[in-house]
Every structure is written in C-alpha cells, then in structure tokens.
C-alpha cells in the first residue's frame, strides 16, 4: 500500500474527511505525532517511502528531498510555499502545490481583529483586570484612519474590503499589482509608510522588507501589523521603535524564528500570536480538503 505523510499539527482534527479520502483511494496515511512543527530528521522518518506529502510550515530543503526517494507530490496546507525548496523539487520531478484561497478570509479577519485590539488596547486592559487593576486606557478609533497595505493580493484585498465600512482611507504598495485595483490607489512603499496611521503587511514570501530605515519612515505614533511571513520585519528595529514611542504599537503573528523568544515579549504595546492566521475551524477544514484534493489528483497523474 502506497503511503501519504501529513506533517501539519492539527490535520483532520475538526473533520475526518480529508484523511478518509486518502484511505478510500487506497493510501496508507501517517500523521505528525508530535503536536508541533516537525524537525528535518522527523520529516525524513515520517515521510520515508511516502509518495505524497501534505506539508505544514516545516522546512523542506533539498537535502531532505534527495533522501525522500519515493516522493512525487508535495501539497502545502496553506498559501505560502517559501518553506519548500521548489527549485530542488522541480529538478527531482516532485510537484508542489498550495492552497491559496482557503485561508484568505481567516487571515484577513485576524488582521482586522489585531488592528481593533491594538487601537483600543484590549489586550493590555484585559491583563490589568486579571491582575486586579481597574485601569481604563484611552484608545483610538479605526474609523477614518489612513491604512497602508503592503502587498495587495488575495488577503490584502480582503482586508481592504473588511475595513471599508470603518471609513478608512486605504492605499497599497505592490509592484505586481496595477494601480486602481478595487478602486484603491497604489503608492510606493515609502509613500505608504510615511502617510499611513496603520501599516499592515500581506506579502507572499519572506525576506527583510521593513528594516530600521523603513520603520523610521513611518509616521510617529502609527501602528504596524504583520500576519504574513516571518523575517519580513526587523524585530530588533521594531522593538527599539516601540520602546522609544516612535510607534504606538504593533501586532505580529509571524516571526523570523518560531517559537518566538525575543525581546518583544517584554513590551506591553505589542500583541504576539503563535502563527494562527489560518486557525479558524472553517478555514482549516477548507485548506485541508483543498490540500488533499491537490495531492490525490496529481498522484493519480503520476501513477
């Protein structure tokens, strides 16, 4: 019986149909037993002799791919594939797929939730009440704010749509998207950073984009949100800007190294979440079904 390995941490927890679909097609299914992102050596053990892999956010490097001799298809359960060495996979004849549509609304809703939490200081007051302090902090309205979106793909556009009823003035920076999409104005990255009250990042791949210089361009007292890719924001420079008061606050769902253990944990004007952009039940089920469909359809082609 041919094998499919599944490395994500919560696969089929809310709906068994994705796993059942694999078994109904005659595949043995093995799942991540660790409840966390697996390490390279664990990937090799789990996916040994597997023809298909439903992948999470673990690193899938050329070194690993060379050792997975039976592997034919990798189906990422998520939008990003920057954790997979796609070039090496192509050389080895391994097809790589992702699920770009399913997590869009979940990430967009999380982004708006983080923005509301930041501006109204919900997390800080919740913590104070739990500590026995009845402290009322003055916040800010989202209504009427200038919001700059860095990256205007599926998620960026969905965030723009969700923020529309708040009466926000929305612009975006994206070299791959034409001006005027959705009726919104495209500006340069520098213009978006310098004019926006709230900057939200929605880029599809990692690599430093917002460093010390870029943070310095941001309006004093503004807010920064990143629910896209770890490593896009210089976390050290961000920490300095939050400490100095140049930025009023920030919210990060992704980090250069996860689990995150850095200095931002010591600040009360930053919200830190553990890479949960797609962690809504409806979104997870959709992603898993789409990932398995991609996998099975393309395994059929290489049989």
Contact assessment for residue 99 and residue 123, using Cβ atoms and an 8 Å cutoff? no
Long-range CB contacts (< 8 A, 24+ apart) of 24-27? 25/296, 26/1, 26/2, 27/1, 27/2, 27/3, 27/51, 27/52
Q: Is there a catalytic annotation at residue 195?
A: no
d(CA 295, CA 301): 10
Q: What is the 3-state secondary structure (H, E, C) of 251-272?
A: EECCCCCCCCCCHHHHCCCEEE
Residue in 246, 245, 254 with CA at minimum distance from that of residue 200: 254
Q: Is there a catalytic annotation at residue 275?
A: yes
Q: Which is catalytic among the residues 20, 45, 135, 258?
A: 258
d(CA 211, CA 256): 13
Q: Which is catalytic among the residues 202, 229, 284, 288?
A: 229
Q: Is there a catalytic annotation at residue 229?
A: yes
Tokens of 195: 């004019």
- DSSP-derived secondary structure letter, 52: E
Which sequence positions are flagged as catalytic?
A: 229, 258, 275
């Amino acid at each position: 019986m041919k094998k499919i390995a599944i490395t994500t941490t919560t696969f089929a927890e809310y709906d068994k149909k994705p796993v059942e679909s694999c078994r109904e097609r005659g595949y043995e299914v093995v799942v991540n037993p660790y409840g966390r992102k697996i390490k390279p050596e664990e990937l090799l053990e789990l996916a040994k002799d597997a023809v298909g892999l439903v992948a999470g956010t673990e690193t899938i490097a050329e070194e690993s791919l060379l050792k997975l001799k039976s592997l034919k298809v990798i189906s990422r359960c998520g939008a990003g594939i920057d954790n997979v060495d796609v070039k090496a996979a192509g050389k080895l004849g391994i097809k790589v797929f992702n699920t770009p549509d399913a997590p869009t609304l979940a990430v967009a809703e999380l982004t708006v939730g983080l923005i509301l939490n930041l501006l109204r200081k919900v997390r800080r007051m919740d913590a104070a009440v739990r500590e026995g302090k009845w402290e009322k902090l003055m916040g800010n309205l989202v209504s009427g704010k200038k919001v700059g979106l860095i990256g205007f793909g599926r998620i960026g556009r969905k965030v723009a749509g969700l923020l529309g009823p708040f009466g926000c003035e929305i612009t975006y920076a994206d070299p791959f998207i034409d001006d005027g999409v959705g009726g919104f104005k495209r500006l340069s990255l520098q213009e978006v950073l310098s004019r926006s009250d709230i900057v939200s990042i929605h880029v599809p791949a990692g690599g430093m984009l917002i460093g010390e210089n870029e943070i310095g361009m941001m309006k004093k007292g503004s807010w920064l949100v990143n629910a896209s890719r770890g490593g896009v924001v210089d976390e050290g420079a961000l920490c300095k800007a939050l400490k100095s008061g140049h930025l009023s606050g920030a919210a990060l769902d992704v980090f250069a190294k996860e689990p995150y253990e850095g200095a931002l944990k010591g600040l009360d004007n930053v919200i830190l979440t553990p890479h949960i952009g797609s962690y809504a039940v409806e979104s997870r089920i959709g992603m898993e079904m789409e990932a398995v469909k991609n996998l099975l359809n393309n395994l059929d082609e290489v049989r």
